[in-house]
């Protein structure tokens, strides 16, 4: 970020940059958390008997699992949004 002007106020461009940085950090944190979750969940569902490598059926399962987890994520997002809207109209 550019140095803050001596008056201590952020310029419009600096404010915009700040907002973008916050958005980015939130996005990165969300993505990391999601990846951790997905790995954990799909390990549980797909690797029932750990062996010396990931065989192709395990790999297929993991790929499907990740896709389904994201499908579920989108569905949950919609359901939660609807619920919030419903509650806010009470």
Partner 1 sequence: MFGFGGKSTPEPAPEPAYSVDLGSESSFSHSTSSSNFMESSSSASEDAELQRHLMREQQRAQFQEQINKFNDICWETCIDKPSSRLDSKTETCIVNCVNRFIDLNLFCAQKFAQMIQQNGGF
List of residues contacting partner 1 (CB under 8 A)? 9-10, 12, 15-16, 18-19, 22-23, 26-27, 29-31, 33-34, 37, 41-42, 45-46, 61, 64-81, 83-85, 87-90
72-75 contacts, C-beta under 8 A, 24 or more apart: 73/34
Which residue, 52 or 89, is less far from partner 1 as judged by CB?
A: 89
State how far the Cα of 59 lies from the Cα of 35, in Å rounded to an integer: 16
**Least distance to partner 1, CB of residue 53, Å:** 20
Instruction: CB nearer to partner 1: give 3 or 44.
Output: 44
Residues 16/4, Cβ–Cβ less than 8 Å: no
Query: Tokens for 54?
Result: 């990931």
């Amino acid at each position: 970020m550019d140095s803050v002007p001596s008056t201590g106020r952020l310029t419009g461009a600096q404010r915009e940059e700040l907002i973008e940085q916050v958005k980015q950090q939130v996005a990165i944190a969300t993505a990391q958390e999601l990846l951790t979750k997905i790995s954990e969940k799909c390990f549980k569902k797909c690797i029932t008997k750990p062996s010396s490598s990931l065989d192709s059926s395990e790999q297929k399962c993991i790929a499907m699992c990740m896709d389904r987890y994201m499908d579920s994520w989108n569905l949950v997002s919609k359901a939660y949004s609807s619920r919030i809207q419903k509650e806010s109209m009470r």
